[in-house]
Amino acid sequence: MDSSNGALDIVITNVVSTFTTLCPLNLRTIALKGFNVIHRRGAGRVQMKMRKHNVTASIWSSGKIMCAGATSEDESKRGARRVARSLQKLGFNVRFSAFRIVNVLAVCYMPFAVHLIDFTKNNFPNASYEPELHPAATYRITNFKATVQVFATGSITIIAPNVKNVVKGAEKVYPLLFQCKKSLRK
Amino acid sequence: MSPRVCPSCGSSDVDVDQARGDAVCMGCGTVLEDNIIVSEVQFVESGGGGSSAVGQFVSSESENRIPAFGESHIAGIGRASRAQTLQKARLHINTLGHQLKMNQHCLDTAFNFYRMALSKHLTNGRKCGHVIAACLYLVCRTEGTPHMLLDLSDLLQVNVYVLGKTFLVLARELCINAPAIDPCLYIPRFAQLLEFGEKNHDVAMTAMRLVQRMKRDWMHTGRRPSGLCGAALLVAARMHDFCRTVKEIVSVVKVCESTLRKRLNEFENTPTSELTIEEFMRVDLDQECDPPCYTDGLKKKKIKQLEVELKKKMEDVEDEIHDYEDEIDAELESVRPKLRGVYAAYTKQEDVDVKDDVLSTSSKVSDEGDEEAEEELQAVAKHFGKELGDITLEALLKLEKKRTEEEEEEEEEEEEGGVPRRKGPTLESILGRMPTASTLGLSETISNCIGHEKENDGAADSGELDLSGIDDSEIELYLLDDREIRVKTALWMAENSDYLKEQREKEVKIAKEKELGIYKEKKPRGPSRKRAPIRASTADEAIGKMLEQKKISSKINYDVLKDLNIKPGASPARAVESPKKEPSAAKLTGRNRHPARAPLSLSTPLSTLGKRLQPFITGQPNKKLAVEQVGSSHPLPVPAGDPAIAVLVESGPVVYDEAADEEEEEEEDPCMSAMEMMGSNDYGCDGEYED
């Protein structure tokens, strides 16, 4: 996707979106007639995997559908529409409404390693690092919604509600990381 | 007090005498006030001869609740709820703190944190135990005591990540910068536990040096500090001739063996590991290493590159093999002309089946309920000279993915092996190709999709499904036809048969109960327990047996009760009572389902009942009104619980207080007359389920 700061590549790995068909769905029918569905009774939903766009849709009986696994916003939308279309073919009166992208997860690799403890100290209270719980330091950006997880190797994952925020988040966090970078021997 | 003015003469010289309670004007002598209300503390003589102060204590923190005259008796002691919360919290903090052996100063600080959290409403929606633990841990971090979050979670039996979340929220809201954990902090504590005796200090020092070295080699970022400590202690112990095994260290440090080994390996990769013991103690190498995760990353990159290269080579070889396979196919087909006609018919159906198996994820070939499909596969298999068992789902999947290097090599060898062995790869290649082959016309549709798919931004949000860019024909492939539906239904039913059975049973039960008119919504009923009527020759026996059947209350001293010599008049009443109680008996709620057990004798040891049942036996839920009625010898039935052992009762409520509290507290019915109780069989059920 976009590259910020010269040569850095931000790779979007997951886009999660939801939409709703405005009619209730009979999960059993879907599970029995659909080709590529898993019926998870415990969670009360059906999982359908689309091959083309590599989207996994979780379908609830109320008509709410959550699609995950796409690698771009457009793909997510297309995958969602395909899911709706296949439900339509199964005989439900499906409409495609309230499509909303919930989450975008992206990964970025810095060419340097980061000193997590310094990073946390400099950016308190936005940053928190608890090695007993998670190996990464979590940096939360408040003015626009984004969460950045910084690992000691210099790779970061950015979670935001849309791609723009992802880029913004990466750009915001880069100078902070640069301050605490560890000079490597190799 | 503002100087008062005498109304009669206007003089401001007023003498107020507190002792006599008078206010007198000095000018004219008018008595201005008689019986002045004084604000001194007064004492009253109490019953036993002592004196107590008159008045109520009003807490300074009670914030707006000044008890008015009429309501002073409502709140009891008059303490506000906030004060009660704080008191409770203080109690818990102290308990936990003492278990962790924290000093009083830390506990006070923790209490302050709690108060801050309370004022910021951070306790809303969180278990107070969690918040308290978080406060304690915050203190540990700021003071630098060697307590881990794991310790706290051990004490509370709570998931450490849940505690961690609460802790992080607390730290963020209170703007407290908890300094990062230094592994050196934990070394003395672990060294103590490992019992090094006199050399404790030396080993600890060595371990600390090791940890500092590890820190400089960037081994500590992103890792649990306890893991590093464990590795350091292991090495230090060995250096000082203590043979502490990995297991001992693991039990003290609370990491797993593989973590320890990994840390040791990483340390091995650093140049410091090359030094001898003496050198290490004296010299400190200057160079610092890269963090091990970074070096691992580099290694992985290299491996990937190698893989890519290998793959390329493999692909070249693959092409060759394909040529061979094509030739072999042609030959085989020419050898078996008869098969072609049958083959075609079978292949078509097998295609579908294969697709079915491969793509529908809820099937296992071994469970295939549909006989037709199996028969077909068998026929196909026979023709191809392989057993049905060989054509398992796994094999098929493997065949699909068979473009891995190893299998390619195998095939290559097989190719060179001989003609009969080529049946294997041929079959594989055919089956493997089927789902992707163009026999189903898929390739065209796929190319269509890839080529012509248009992007459609801004689909109408009116709810209409925008169909552009969606290839219908491909989606139709996603739908099963009738036969496939049957197959899948059968498979799904087979897999979920247990669950479906349960559902059916439930429905039947509900229907039955509806007929009987006693069906109540929402509560699943347990099986009703029939108990033998209590036959006792003496009052003592009757009491004992009845006690076994009833739930035990904490408010009754059972030993005394046992010794009670109850009049014979009362005991037949009880004996009559108890048979009536059986039908009511122990209908346990769905939550505590137990198999019906014979009433235990008083001497049955608790342990034989098994672990799970002990809390139910010794800690009894029905604390409120339960057996008080026994004491007062009202013939009140009590929903019976598990058979209890009267002997052990007294220890029960103390130990299993929490377990008992968690269970449903059932409200007792108000006094029922003996007639009612004896008259209706269903009494006990109602009594039990009224909440």
* Nearest CA distance, B377 vs chain A (angstrom): 20
pLDDT in the model for residue A107: 92
Q: State pLDDT tens for residues B596-653.
A: 444 444 444 444 544 444 444 444 444 444 444 444 444 444 444 344 444 444 444 4
CA B572 from chain centre, in angstroms, equals: 50
pLDDT in the model for residue B473: 62
Q: For A20, name the nearest residue in chain B, comparing CA atoms only.
A: B463
CA B486 from chain centre, in angstroms, equals: 39
Q: Are A130 and B164 within 8 A, CB to CB?
A: yes
Q: Is B317's Cβ below 8 Å from some Cβ in A?
A: no
Q: Are A128 and B172 within 8 A, CB to CB?
A: yes
pLDDT in the model for residue B306: 92
> Which long-range CB contacts under 8 A does B592-600 form with residues at least 24 apart?
B592/B616, B592/B663, B593/B526, B593/B527, B594/B642, B596/B527, B596/B529, B596/B530, B596/B531, B597/B642, B597/B643, B598/B643, B599/B531, B599/B532, B599/B545, B599/B548, B599/B549, B599/B643, B600/B548, B600/B643, B600/B645
pLDDT in the model for residue A185: 53
Low-confidence residues of chain A, pLDDT below 50?
1-4, 186
* Nearest CA distance, A86 vs chain B (angstrom): 6
Residues in B 493-552 with any Cβ partner in A closer than 8 A: 496, 499
Chain A residues with CB-CB distance to B464 below 8 A:
95-96
Q: Are A89 and B149 within 8 A, CB to CB?
A: no
Q: Identify the residue whose tokens are 């068992």.
A: B389
Neighbours of A76 (CB within 10 A): 25
Please give the angle made by the CA atoms of B253, B259 and B263, to the nearest 5 degrees: 100
Q: For A132, name the nearest residue in chain B, comparing CA atoms only.
A: B224
Chain B residues with CB-CB distance to A130 below 8 A:
164, 167-168
pLDDT in the model for residue B669: 47
Chain B residues with CB-CB distance to A44 below 8 A:
none
pLDDT in the model for residue B576: 43
Single pTM value for the model: 0.50
Chain A residues with CB-CB distance to B290 below 8 A:
113, 184-186
Output DSSP code: residue A159: E
With a CB cutoff of 8 Å and minimum separation 6, the contacts of A92 are: A21, A23, A25, A26
pLDDT in the model for residue B632: 43
Contact between B121 and B170 (Cβ < 8 Å): no
B593: which 2 tokens? 């389902």
Q: Are A153 and B149 within 8 A, CB to CB?
A: no
Q: For B167, name the nearest residue in chain A, comparing CA atoms only.
A: A130
pLDDT in the model for residue B522: 54
**Residue of A35, A113, A132 with shortest CB distance to B224:** A132
With a CB cutoff of 8 Å and minimum separation 6, the contacts of B165 are: none
B181: which 2 tokens? 């954990």
Q: For A155, name the nearest residue in chain B, comparing CA atoms only.
A: B294
Phi-psi region of B45 (alpha: psi -120 to 50; beta: other; left: phi over 0): beta
Interface pTM, i.e. ipTM = 0.74
Please give the angle made by the CA atoms of A107, A109 and A114, to the nearest 5 degrees: 115
Output DSSP code: residue B118: H
B558: which 2 tokens? 């059972």
Residues in B 226-265 with any Cβ partner in A closer than 8 A: 226
* Nearest CA distance, B555 vs chain A (angstrom): 43
Chain A residues with CB-CB distance to B218 below 8 A:
113, 152, 182
Chain A residues with CB-CB distance to B465 below 8 A:
81, 84-85, 88, 94-96
Low-confidence residues of chain B, pLDDT below 70?
1-3, 58-79, 286, 337-480, 518-534, 551-554, 558, 565-691
Selected for mutation to probe chain B from A22, A40, A85 (highest B CB count within 10 Å) is A85
* Nearest CA distance, A34 vs chain B (angstrom): 5
B501: which 2 tokens? 């059975």
**DSSP structure string for A24-75:** ---HHHHHHHBSSEEEETTTTEEEEEETTTTEEEEEETTSEEEEEEESSHHH
Chain A residues with CB-CB distance to B172 below 8 A:
125, 128
Selected for mutation to probe chain B from A20, A29, A32 (highest B CB count within 10 Å) is A32
A58: which 2 tokens? 């979780």
Rounded Cα distance between A16 and A104, Å, is 6
* Nearest CA distance, A4 vs chain B (angstrom): 22
Rounded Cα distance between B632 and A28, Å, is 58
Q: Are B164 and A152 within 8 A, CB to CB?
A: no
Residues in B 164-183 with any Cβ partner in A closer than 8 A: 164, 167-168, 171-172, 175, 177, 180-181
pLDDT in the model for residue A160: 92
**Residue of B148, B175, B221 with shortest CB distance to A116:** B221
How many CB pairs lie under 8 A apart between chains A and B? 151
Phi, psi of A48 (to 5 degrees): -120, 130
Bridge-partner residues for A143, per DSSP?
A: none
* Nearest CA distance, B528 vs chain A (angstrom): 28
Chain B residues with CB-CB distance to A74 below 8 A:
455, 457
From the list B343, B336, B373, the residue with the least C-alpha distance to B356 is B373
**Residue of B455, B459, B475 with shortest CB distance to A82:** B475
